[in-house]
Amino acid sequence: MSAKRITIGRTFSQTPLETEGKAESPSQIFFLSTGKRALFRAERIPANEVEEKTFVVMETNGRDQAGLTPDSLRDIIRTIKLQQFFPAIGVMQGDKIEILDGSRRRAAAIFCKTGLDVLVTDADITADEARRLAQDIQTAREHNLREVGIRLLALKDGGLSQKEIAENQGLSQAKVTRALQAASVPADLISLFPNHSELTYPDYKALLQAADKLNETGQSVKALIDSISVEVDIICAREELAEDEVKNHILRLIRNASQTLIKEPEKDKTISTSLWPFADKDRFARKKSRGRMFSYEFNRQSKELQEELDKVIAETLSKYLGN
């Protein structure tokens, strides 16, 4: 008889273990990427403890927590008060639970002030094991391009090249490049959008270009945001707008405001002032000024007038500039 095939990947047990399942709450076993197994037990976190007792590490979970707004969580908020279809997955870190998978459910529970079901393990899991387990058991909405990029930034900061990141994550190099660009957009700009998942790669690219151009011209992203924040609030309050329309309106505001900020100031115009009227159009005595610069021009004037002007100018300079 052939040997039993070895299970590769994760395993969801259907019933509590007989040898390890004496605990009152049901349990499940997950097999980690390194071959180790970890026993997870079910816990119900009370509503008033969810925010304090649980936390999320972006590099592990992969979800951009700043993007978890009521708008982006609308689908979960609608049901979580009545029932939570899937438990979150967590690992004990001291006296708190790090959420590996289910940060959207966690955020929705906090917004709705309801409890959170979590499968928790006390096993000693490394950061890489946790990251790979979180990827394996994702049950929520697919991560957007920026969230993928933020996760990849952790690998890049760890010393991997973009080619190595692509091979490690099973992504194309083009996808890695796009994701890293999306992750490079200043978070303050992203925060203007109520639902980050509406943003596409061209949107991220346009935002990054606007931010880079502002920096090149000595302008700040904060100045841009300050100039449009009121208009953004007005747009977000328009209930008749679909989510993609809200996004497009805000993008247009950012594009127009950034162009206004980086536009080179018009050169000061030269102002010419006549100092004396002459019947002959070829004769003139005038002053020209442009900004802080000024000059005097004379044409077809007598030598005596020139000498007198030289004398007056010299005396005046001595009076105001001399020691």
Residues 6+ apart with CB under 8 A from 193: 199, 246, 247, 250
Residue ranges of alpha helices (H) inside 46-172 are: 50-53, 58-61, 74-80, 103-112, 127-136, 145-157, 162-169
pLDDT of residue 264: 55
- pLDDT over 90 (residue 311): yes
Question: Of 141, 173, 206, which residue sits at a domain end?
Answer: 141
Query: Does residue 243 sit in the same domain as residue 303?
Result: no
Query: Does residue 63 sit in the same domain as residue 170?
Result: no
Query: Does residue 86 sit in the same domain as residue 217?
Result: no
Top-confidence residue, 181 or 31: 181
Query: Does residue 299 sit in the same domain as residue 215?
Result: no
The most confident of 100-104, 152-156, 237-241, 314-318, by mean pLDDT? 314-318
Query: Does residue 258 sit in the same domain as residue 156?
Result: no
Query: Does residue 4 sit in the same domain as residue 136?
Result: yes
Phi, psi angles (nearest 5°) of residue 114: -130, 165
- Residue-averaged pLDDT of the chain: 82
Stretch 215-228: mean pLDDT, rounded?
88
Query: Does residue 160 sit in the same domain as residue 210?
Result: no
Share of the chain above pLDDT 90, in %: 28
Q: What is the pLDDT of residues 264-296, one digit of tens each?
A: 555 678 899 999 998 888 899 999 998 888 999
User: DSSP class of residue 241?
Assistant: S
Query: Does residue 253 sit in the same domain as residue 163?
Result: no
Query: Does residue 176 sit in the same domain as residue 200?
Result: no
Query: Does residue 99 sit in the same domain as residue 163?
Result: no
Locate 6 and state its tokens.
């070895």
Query: Does residue 40 sit in the same domain as residue 102?
Result: yes
Domain that holds residue 58: 1-141
- pLDDT over 70 (residue 16): no
Quick one: three-class SS letters along 217-252? CCCCHHHHHHHHHHHHHHHHCCCCCCHHHHHHHHHH
Q: What is the pLDDT of residues 24-69, one digit of tens each?
A: 456 778 888 888 888 888 899 999 999 999 999 877 777 777 778 8
Query: Does residue 30 sit in the same domain as residue 99?
Result: yes
pLDDT of residue 267: 61
Give the chain's largest Cα–Cα span: 125
- pLDDT over 80 (residue 3): no
Domains: count for the chain: 4
Overall pTM > 0.85 = no
Residues 6+ apart with CB under 8 A from 164: none
